[in-house]
Amino acid sequence: MSISLKPLVNYLFGPGKGLVAADDKPDSTNKRLEEFNIPETLEKRTRYREIVVTTTNIEKYISGIIFHEETLSNTLSDGRSFHEVLRSRGIITGIKVDQGLTLLSRSSIEQKTNGLETLADRLLDYKKFGAQFCKWRSVFTIGKDMPTDECINENIKIFAKYTQIALQNNYLPILEPEVLTLGDHPIEVCKKTTQQILLSLFALLDKENVDMSQVILKTNMVLPGTDAKIKASPSEVAEKTIGCLTGSVPHNTGGIVFLSGGQSTLEANLHLNAICQVKSLPWPISFSFDRAFMYPVLKAWQGRKENIVRAQNELLEVTKDSSQALQGVFKP
């Protein structure tokens, strides 16, 4: 029997609260550790996530944390599991359930997301570790004739199946179709591409009678490509992002969270702040940052025990900034 996920949606979008995405695949986490000369080991990956889980007072700004399967069953040195510690502080555990990407075809550089075949069984298993919501990511590259219709259609079909399996198993699904910022395209191209993908996605979900109020969209902000000649101000990012989303995301959707997409922590918060200064948006808005939170923490930590408190203070600071951005009152 399916349950209403609306209370969970309301909880995750509690005032001034958002999500930490601590769910990188092991090899992606390793790449980030390497950037700070931290050994690329399971031990260090786990320690990073432990820093997040044990940061005092983080529950003031965070309602949920998304983990990778690798972390879900972890315990603290006192034997308590991550999810028990989080639950006792009112933080809900989520799980990344996609299993990486494969090329659409041998001649293509575009990718589709894997993991549907085993999803139902894994969801059942993840319940043991307190997971209540889940996340599925696909990526879209902007380039010559990209993203192709094939890439969009293939990935949205997978999203629709994922959503149904998640809902059947009483998980709140987050759908993350990420348009990458790599490239020299102007902001308008990002807007048009993001909108095209979201329109196709929600049209399919609607056709399949998905209850949008039980679904969360995790999306990129609308930005110019990283190599674009013309940059955009926070107010332009906000205007284009909101224009894109109001034109493509059903107004009864549970909520929208933003990924940071390789922006610096400051940029991500400035853009979020500008978006949240716009009043009367149809859906609740929040953040679900990974790198924007992870980089300042790794920088402070450097993989050393004696820096853990410093790293946790940093995490508290950046999540507080994002919380203030949600209220449109962030001041760098």
Q: Which residues bind ligand 13P (CB under 6 A)?
A: 21, 137, 176, 259-261, 289-292
Residue 53 vs 88, nearer CB to ligand 13P? 53
CB of 314 to ligand 13P, least distance (A): 16
Residue 40 vs 178, nearer CB to ligand 13P? 178
Catalytic residue among 218, 239, 240, 314: 218
Phi, psi of 21 (to 5 degrees): -95, 105
Q: CA of 299: how far to CAs of 67, 68, 161, in Å? A: 21, 22, 39
DSSP state of 180: P
Give the torsion through C-alpha atoms of 107, 113, 118, 122, to 10 deg: 160
CB of 27 to ligand 13P, least distance (A): 14
Rounded Cα gap, residues 28 and 34, in angstroms: 10
- Nearest partner of 202 among 182, 216, 185, judged by Cα: 216
CB of 160 to ligand 13P, least distance (A): 19
Residue 82 vs 289, nearer CB to ligand 13P? 289
Residue 138 vs 169, nearer CB to ligand 13P? 138
User: In angstroms, how far is the first alpha carbon of the chain from the final one?
Assistant: 47
Most distant CA pair in the chain, distance: 54
CB of 297 to ligand 13P, least distance (A): 13
Alpha helix positions (H), the chain: 6-12, 26-35, 42-53, 69-72, 82-88, 119-127, 149-168, 187-207, 234-246, 265-276, 291-301, 308-326
Residue 116 vs 309, nearer CB to ligand 13P? 116
Contact 246, 285 (CB under 8 A): no
Q: CA of 111: how far to CAs of 101, 102, 155, 175, 178, in Å? A: 6, 5, 9, 16, 12
Mark whether 176 is an active-site residue: yes
CB of 316 to ligand 13P, least distance (A): 18
Residue 176 vs 321, nearer CB to ligand 13P? 176
CB of 207 to ligand 13P, least distance (A): 26
List the Cα angle 153/116/73 in 5-degree steps: 135
Task: Please report the sign of the dihedral spanned by the C-alpha atoms of residue 218, residue 222, residue 226, residue 232.
Answer: negative
Catalytic residue among 110, 176, 239, 314: 176
Phi, psi of 263 (to 5 degrees): -70, 155
Residue 75 vs 99, nearer CB to ligand 13P? 99
CB of 234 to ligand 13P, least distance (A): 17
Q: List all residues 6 or more positions away from 22 whose beta carbon is below 8 Å from its beta carbon.
A: 48, 49, 52, 65, 66, 67, 68, 71, 290, 294
Mark whether 154 is an active-site residue: no
Task: Kindly list the catalytic residues.
Answer: 176, 218
